A and B are shown apart, each in its own frame.
Chain A
Amino acid sequence: MTLSKFDYYGPKTVAEAVGLLGEIGEGAKVMAGGTDVLVRIRHRMLKPRAVVGLKRIEGLNGISCGPKRGLSVGATALLADVAAHRGIRRLYPGIAEAALGTANVQVRNMATLAGNLCNASPAADNAPTLLALNAELTIQGPGGERKRPLEGFFKGPGVTDLAPEEVVTAIFVPPPAERSGTAYLHLSARGKHDCTAVGVGVMLAMAGRKCRDARIFISACGPTPLRAPQAEQMLIGQVPTDKRMAEAGVRASGEALPICDIRASADYRCRVLGVLTRRALQAARDRAAKKG
């Protein structure tokens, strides 16, 4: 089946893109890699009047990463480049793991990190770790630029806090906290290559032998990525033993809101979530310890 007909615009600047979205109005669709947009058009789930492609905007695909300045990923940076970036792999291994765990080689060579977030799938593989690391979005609209935390950005399946004429220009992640570690683990019906049925991203920061801060975010177990605050509270101020982490995993699965669908049953999701959360916490703890 061919794609339905639409006009195409390839603006050269973000301001031009925002202007076009305003002028075209209803029926305009922003596109980065197109791996969600074009699939939805082909399947007749979306019929835009015009597509506004972001990939010609110069300088929007940059990645900058350092222990003091944190991480900044431009809106058209590819998942493949995020996954392979040395600085990201060293300072934010959870972010690189999640990017590498998304889709397949070809899709990662087209798809963007920002597109994964803006698509707002409850199963988006890159959301949990970025949420756990307190990521922030830079957004450009007709009124200028605004910044907002990624937490609270997702409003429902496919729905975000973005206004129709707004464009995300970058994702910022603060410098990693001292003695902290992150990890992302996910499972799907078929190995690692199918859409995620359960995912969990965690950040753990240590002080002495005790856990100083913990953030746990779950994907594909509710209408948006979900936080597990009760499980976090079970860890903060405690020595994170394997036993405590297993208990926190069980609590996290109690905080999820899974449904039964073609990828997994709700019951399966709950059980697996407990185990994945424990394993992700252990991995994050071990990484934090290595940083000494």
Chain B
Amino acid sequence: MKHEITLHVNGDEYPIAVDPWRTLNEVLREDLNLTGTKFGCGSGDCGACTVLVEGRSVNSCLTLAVEMDGREITTVEGLAPSGERLHPIQEAFVERGAIQCGFCTPGMELSALHLLEKNPKPTEAEIRSAISGNLCRCTGYNKIVEAVADAAGRMKPKK
């Protein structure tokens, strides 16, 4: 039986009917066409599928869409909603060369956002620990760690 649910993604509402066995990752990518969120391992190891639910980072591959009824979800598409200006985290990733193939980038950026919202001035160790659930096969991580530290400086404290 399909379940009627409403997903709130990046501020938009999507009333949809979903099969109970479908993951949030599948529904975002296949039904909502939000393909910025990637699918890698499907088992919680790589973090390519990371999204924020009510501000907390989770693996969308291990989240049932039906359990997301009414919850606020942020994907990488929500970082720069206007499409004109990048989010400071994205700017830092671009300028610091923290992106090579780009497959890990959406997940990395959301993990970075999850960290910086709670901890605006993280140490290097805190950054490394915050992205420990995100694998990158290209960069060797150093540029990503530098980019997150740089982004911390660019993000204005919320008033």
Contact = CB atoms under 8 A, between A and B. Distances in A.
Interface of A: 1-8, 10, 34-35, 38-39, 42-43, 51, 53, 55-56, 80, 103-107, 109-110, 193
Interface stretch (B43-51, B83-91, B98-106, B144-152): B43-51
A105 B43 contact: no
Interface of B: 1, 3, 19-23, 26, 42-44, 47, 50, 53, 56-59, 62-64, 66-67, 111, 114, 129-130, 132-133
Contacts of A193: 132-133
B58 A110 contact: yes
Contacts, number: 77
A99 to B, nearest CB: 14
A35 B20 contact: no
B27 to A, nearest CB: 12
Nearest to A108: B133
Contact of A42 (B3, B42, B53, B129): B42
12 contacts: A8-B64, A10-B67, A34-B62, A39-B44, A42-B42, A56-B67, A104-B44, A105-B132, A106-B58, A106-B111, A107-B62, A109-B57
A225 to B, nearest CB: 22
B1 A106 contact: no
A39 B57 contact: no
B133 A106 contact: yes
B8 to A, nearest CB: 17
Nearest to B54: A109
